Copies of this chain bind each other. A is one copy, B any other.
Amino acid sequence: MKKTARRRLDLSGRVDLTHGSGGRAMAELIGQLFAAAFDNPYLAQGNDQAIVPPIGGRLAIATDSHVISPLFFPGSDIGSLAVHGTVNDLAMGGARPLYLSAGFILEEGLLLTDLQRIVESMAAAAREAGVAIVTGDTKVVERGKGDGVFISTTGVGVVPDGVNLSGANARAGDAILVSGTLGEHGMAVMSQRMSLGFASDIRSDSASLHTLADALLTACPSLRLMRDPTRGGLATTLNEIAAQSGVGMLLDETALPVSAPVRAACELLGLDPLYVANEGKLVAICAPGDAEAALAALRAHPLGHNAAIVGQVVEDAQHFVRVATAFGGERLLDWLSGEMLPRIC
Query: Which residues on A are within 8 Å of B, measured CB to CB?
Result: 1-3, 16-18, 20-27, 45-67, 69, 89-90, 92-93, 95, 99, 101-105, 134-142, 144-147, 150, 152, 154-157, 159, 165-168, 225, 227-228, 230-233, 236, 240, 244, 277, 318, 320, 332, 334-340, 342-343, 345
Which residues in B have their C-beta under 8 angstroms from that of A104?
65
Specify the chain B residue showing the minimal Cβ separation from A85. B137
Inter-subunit contact A103/B21 (CB<8 Å) = no
In Å, the complex CA distance between A273 and B58 comes to 45
Known: A3-B334, A45-B166. A54 touches B62 (CB 8 A): no
Given known contacts A3-B318, A232-B22, A336-B22, A58 and B63 CB-to-CB distance under 8 angstroms = no
> How many copies of the shown chain assemble into the complex?
2
Q: Is the CB of B63 within 8 A of A23?
A: no
Q: A49-B95, A232-B22 are in contact. Are A54 and B59 (CB under 8 A)?
A: yes
Cβ–Cβ contact A67 & B105, under 8 A: yes
A175 to chain B: closest CB distance in Å?
20
Q: Is A18 a contact partner of B339 (Cβ separation < 8 A)?
A: yes
Q: Is the CB of A332 within 8 A of B232?
A: no
